Amino acid sequence: MTQAPPAASAPLRRALAEARSPRVPRTVPYVPERAFPWGGPGLPLDGPGGAVDLDRALRLSLAAPREAGGRLRPVPSAGALHPVRAHLLIGPGCSLPPGRYAYDPRTHRAHPRGPAPAGAPPGAVAVLTVVASRTVAHYGHRAWPLLLLDAGHAAAALALAAAPGGVRVSLDADGAELAAAAGLPRAAEWEARWPGTEPELPLVALWLSPGGTPARERDPLAAWSAHPRSRTAAPLPQPDAGTAPTGELTSTQSLLDHLTRASRPTWHPAHRPAPVTDDTLRTRRSADPADLTGPPAPELLAQVLATAHTARPDGPAWVVAVGGDTPGLRTPAGPLASGDARPTLARWAAGQRWIGTAGAVLLAHGCPADAPPALVRGSHLAAGYAAGAAQAHATALGLRSRPIGSWQQADLGAALGDAPGQDWIIHGLALAAPPAPPAPPAPPESPHQRTPHPAPPTSSGKEERP
């Protein structure tokens, strides 16, 4: 039986204040990704007879293209670290036999981890987890909000890839139930059960149904969470994962575990914005900051803002900062404030100066300083999810974009004259107009036009070249 969500605690308030403070993290150089920890034979995802196309959905969302060395994937991630992993709970109606699987994004294969319960729901449940060590090594005390945003982006990528179809997403399922469903121990039990391996912290669940929209009254996690974990395969020990974790890593893992204590999950349907196609998802990439200076057309910007605003009914509010002749902050309902906020946003976003000249910046905001765990978790997961949907929509419209995850002292409410500590920037998405079309080729030379003689040789005896 799950516990009721706890109220805001002093450790959570301190962690949130630290992540939003100007204190610079103590970081280490880029840490390479560890080997995939789940052994056993990797099975292809494109078998016959599957009403749920897992091969397509995962290839368009979480797969790591081999030609890019695994760092560049269809879904963005802070620092290109990609801490999100997927565990697939397969029931009837899929190309894989029913059972628990771990998905390897580098090989695009599913590794069996155990059988399915007798009452497994049809289709596939994907439980998204995060491994925190590399993100903590790179971002220190700012890592845990970024891990939540990354999980939200990954959830949006998988939902958009699986749609249109019966896809429902839960951003508030209880962590203990998610761990039990995926056959994983809780973070506090992990080292004792599977020593020498890194804990995976479950945050999100998606249900991909083979028959269209899943039944609202059914909880797809119930049968899986009641299924014994004793029959589930363990990860392989890793030589560099058995050392004592740093204080910040332990704190991050404990905090994320604390944030996922919840009651019954809610499931919301996923929708793909009309212009988004499979080609959009296949080619979506974050733009270089130097290419984000052209303001988007107002009508296109309004469409992307509307997508961010409506992607999650349980998410934070969204505004957009624009410059130009009439600079200001705008909501989907109209203007919020006048004046160019982009230079201030550049200071708040870890001093990324390029934001001051970005074409436009979408901003998710809310999550007070004393927010309870459910609101902190939900605000960040939903912000990442909405930004993922908005980025896909922007790509389909030809706009360039780049997520902005790290925000310090970004008290938007106080800056607008409201009470301090109540309305903070959670996430951002920079947008810019499409690149200028290439110059048209020179017209072909007329057959009647005289061809000029080549230039005479220079004093060096070599012919001059243009």
Residue range 35-63: mean pLDDT, rounded: 90
Boundaries of every domain in the chain:
10-30+37-269, 285-432
| Confidence check: pLDDT of 311 > 60 | yes
What tokens does 118 get? 């007798």
Poorest-confidence range of 152-161, 163-172, 225-234, 337-346? Answer: 225-234
**Would you call the peptide bond into 228 cis, given omega within 30 degrees of 0 as the criterion?**
no
What is the pLDDT averaged over residues 328-351? 97
pLDDT value of position 270? 94
The answer on pLDDT for 463 being more than 50 is no
Task: Give the pLDDT band (50/70/90) at residue 465.
Answer: very low
Give me the pLDDT at residue 247, please.
Answer: 87
Does the structure show a pLDDT above 50 at 461? no
User: At residue 454, does pLDDT exceed 90?
Assistant: no
Segment 192-210, tens digit of pLDDT: 999 989 999 999 999 998 8
pLDDT of residue 242: 44
The topology under which CATH files domain 285-432 is: NADH Oxidase (3.40.109)
CA distance linking residue 185 with residue 242, whole number of Å: 16
Residue 457, pLDDT score: 38
Q: Which among 169, 126, 171, 131 has a CA at the least distance from the CA of 147? A: 131
Average pLDDT, stretch 248-273? Answer: 93
3-state SS, 374-420, equals HHHHHHHHHHHHHHHHHHHHHHHCCCEEEEECCCCCCEHHHHCCCCC
pLDDT at 356: 97
The percent of residues above 70 in pLDDT, for the chain, comes to 88
10-30+37-269 and 285-432 have identical folds? yes
Q: Residues 387, 352, 379, 74: what is their CA dihedral angle, to the nearest 10 degrees? A: 30
Give the rounded percent of residues in the chain with a pLDDT score beyond 90: 73
Question: Would you identify the CATH topology of the domain 10-30+37-269?
Answer: NADH Oxidase (3.40.109)
Cross-sheet strand order for the sheet of 201-209 = 109-114, 99-104, 84-90, 124-130, 201-209, 166-170, 268-269
pLDDT in tens, 373-391: 999 999 999 999 999 999 9
Q: How much is the pLDDT for 462?
A: 30
Nearest to 398 by CA among 305, 319, 287, 321: 287
**pLDDT band with cut points at 50, 70 and 90 for residue 32:** confident
Do 38 and 195 meet the contact criterion of CB atoms below 8 Å apart? Answer: no
List, as one string, the DSSP characters of 302-367: HHHHHHHHHS-TTS-EEEEEE-TTS-EEEETTEEEEES--HHHHHHHTTT-GGGGG-SEEEEEEE-
Q: Specify the pLDDT at position 68.
A: 54
pLDDT at 31: 80
What is the per-residue pLDDT for 7?
Answer: 64
**Amino acid 55: pLDDT:** 94
Confidence at residue 456, expressed as pLDDT on a 0 to 100 scale: 40
Once rounded to an integer, what is the mean pLDDT over residues 292-303? 97
Average pLDDT, stretch 264-284? 93
For the cut 60, the answer to whether the pLDDT of residue 451 exceeds it is no
Q: Which residues of 30-44 are buried (b: 16+ CB within 10 A; e: fewer)?
A: ebebeebbbeeebee
> Which of these ranges, 45-54, 84-93, 135-144, 277-286, has the smallest mean pLDDT?
45-54
Q: What is the pLDDT of residue 49?
A: 65
Kindly tell me if the per-residue pLDDT of 73 is higher than 70.
yes
pLDDT of residue 164: 78
Check pLDDT > 50 for residue 403. yes
pTM for this model (two decimals) = 0.91
Task: Determine the pLDDT at residue 66.
Answer: 72
Q: State the average pLDDT for the chain.
A: 89
* Element (DSSP H or E) covering residue 10: helix 10-19
pLDDT category of residue 23 using cuts at 50, 70 and 90? very high
* Residue 108, Ramachandran bin (φ over 0: left; ψ between -120 and 50: alpha; else beta): left
Check residues 274 and 446 and name the one with the higher pLDDT. Answer: 274
Mean pLDDT of 120-127: 95
Region 419-447: what's the mean pLDDT? 84
